[in-house]
Structure 1
């Protein structure tokens, strides 16, 4: 486990960008945390690290957005709307077993569909002030592959 104290969105994005530079085909990155905690900002950084220049938007209503113009395809998923289930009908295995990188916000809502091995990144506000940008980002690896990635951050 690795922990980072972050105090602005630029640092959040820069950490994501570093991760985007070292991800491999088939990597699965889980982003968990409260609304507005920095998950999409982090994903924007991953996209930059992959060389994707398109504007990255949260796929809250579309559930999955595909970006294929970088070093690897980026599959950005926001499964918040699947809070009551339904992830089994999305064909997530095709994404997980593909040649891109999957970034999943609110992964707890599709926990039964997730591959065993992944990198989990948790975002936590450091205080109750909603305008504050102070966050703790905790990264947990499920296996040696992801531990190696975590060590490079």
Structure 2
């Protein structure tokens, strides 16, 4: 079992990234907010695909870039997964709270896990406690340009 308070793991492949995310996702419950931090191409959507398996939700998880948010409903009695591209919300120049309210994320949180790509500085306002996950592909690629490894760190924080 993964300790959600904090940790770091090197994942040598996309598959191992998804396995780690699945273990984390299996421990999430309605009301949890997960903020994914990392540059373009770091593996935020890949990580979310693993979280979705851990949460046992329906549907193929793809980047929410062109839809801003995608909902994936549970197969059983678990929470819905709401996968958000917060970058698009901030790009529109809206006040962060207004943007969150326009998506109705605040009221949905009682029944969902919200996972936000590019969510730092905004999504923390959704909940008093959130999990920040940082995905680093740069360090391994600098050592070996052929490497697919990611260094994934997570920490539960108070908002």
Which TM-score band applies after superposition, normalised by the shorter structure?
0.7 to 0.9
The count of aligned residue pairs is 142
Instruction: Note the residue ranges of structure 1 that are not aligned, 5 or more in a row.
Output: 144-153
Q: SS where residue 36 of structure 2 aligns?
A: strand
Distance 1:75 1:111 in 2: 12
Instruction: Note the residue ranges of structure 2 that are not aligned, 5 or more in a row.
Output: 1-5
Residue equivalent to 1:3 = 8
- 2:83 is the counterpart of 1:76: yes
Q: Report if aligned partners of 2:124, 2:130 keep a CA contact under 8 Å in 1.
A: no
> Residues 28, 111 of structure 1: CA spacing in aligned structure 2 closer, same or farther, 3 A cutoff?
closer
Normalising by structure 2, we get a TM-score of 0.79
| 4+ runs deviating over 3 angstroms | 111-114, 128-132
Distance 1:124 1:38 in 2: 9
Q: Name which of 116, 136, 144 aligns with 1:104.
A: 116
Normalising by structure 1, we get a TM-score of 0.82
> Residues 69, 105 of structure 1: CA spacing in aligned structure 2 closer, same or farther, 3 A cutoff?
same
Residue equivalent to 1:93 = 106
Alignment of structure 1 residues 1-153 onto 2, 5 Å: 1-70=6-75, 71-84=78-91, 85-86=93-94, 87=96, 88-91=98-101, 92-96=105-109, 98-108=110-120, 110-111=122-123, 113-125=125-137, 126=139, 127-128=141-142, 132-142=147-157
RMSD of aligned Cα (Å): 2.0
